[in-house]
Amino acid sequence: MRFSEEQVRDIVALKESLMDQIDRHHESIEMLEKNIIVLDLFLKGSSFTKASQLEIKENEVKIESIEKPVERSIPIKRANDGKIIANAFVTPDQVSILLDNEIEISAEIPPFKSFFLDRIIGEMKKKDVVEVENGKIQKESVIDYVINKNGINIREIIIKNYRQKERVSELINTAGWSLTRMLENINK
């Protein structure tokens, strides 16, 4: 069967469109899987006491033991090849994103400051400031971050006072996206 030049172009365009859709869906699936991991970690780490751990004496309930929340590690992978570029460590107080030792990127490489720091964390900070003004939270509870560097290269991003569990997955996912784009910008 012989195709015209226009039909071949249409077939190539269709193939490219399908490949793009596969890539987008693959990235969406990875993001959903990361969100499920984060939710599982929070569910496992949530503090509740089993009935067998309660001792009842004279109308008083005494908790025999409460597990201390443990720091959990979540790998952050590059979308194109699945290589781990960082690990996120989540505690009730902060999220620490520790870059892999092989990764060398400066905080000056886009879109780190413009997207991750200014847009993502900056918007969360604005919302927290409004809550401080409305008396809902204390000033010390506003989200903040620290960037630890080795020379000019980022080694660790510490995000303090994330306060809301929903923010954790957004912070981890957008950090992964930002780091991936930064690495792509270095290799251009």
Helix 5-45 and helix 165-186, axial crossing angle in degrees, nearest 10: 140
One digit per residue, the tens of pLDDT, for the chain of length 188 reads: 787 888 888 888 888 877 777 777 766 676 777 767 766 665 655 545 444 444 444 444 333 333 444 457 899 998 788 899 999 999 988 999 999 999 999 999 999 999 999 999 999 999 999 999 999 999 999 999 999 999 999 999 999 999 888 899 999 999 999 999 999 988 76
pLDDT of residue 39: 63
Q: What is the pLDDT of residues 55-82, one digit of tens each?
A: 444 444 333 333 444 457 899 998 788 8
Share of the chain above pLDDT 70, in %: 76
Q: In sequence order, which residues have a C-beta less than 8 Å from that of residue 117 and are 6 or more positions away?
A: 145
pLDDT of residue 134: 93
In angstroms, the CA 31 to CA 177 distance is: 10
Q: How far is CA 27 from CA 22, 81, 172, 178, in A?
A: 9, 11, 14, 14
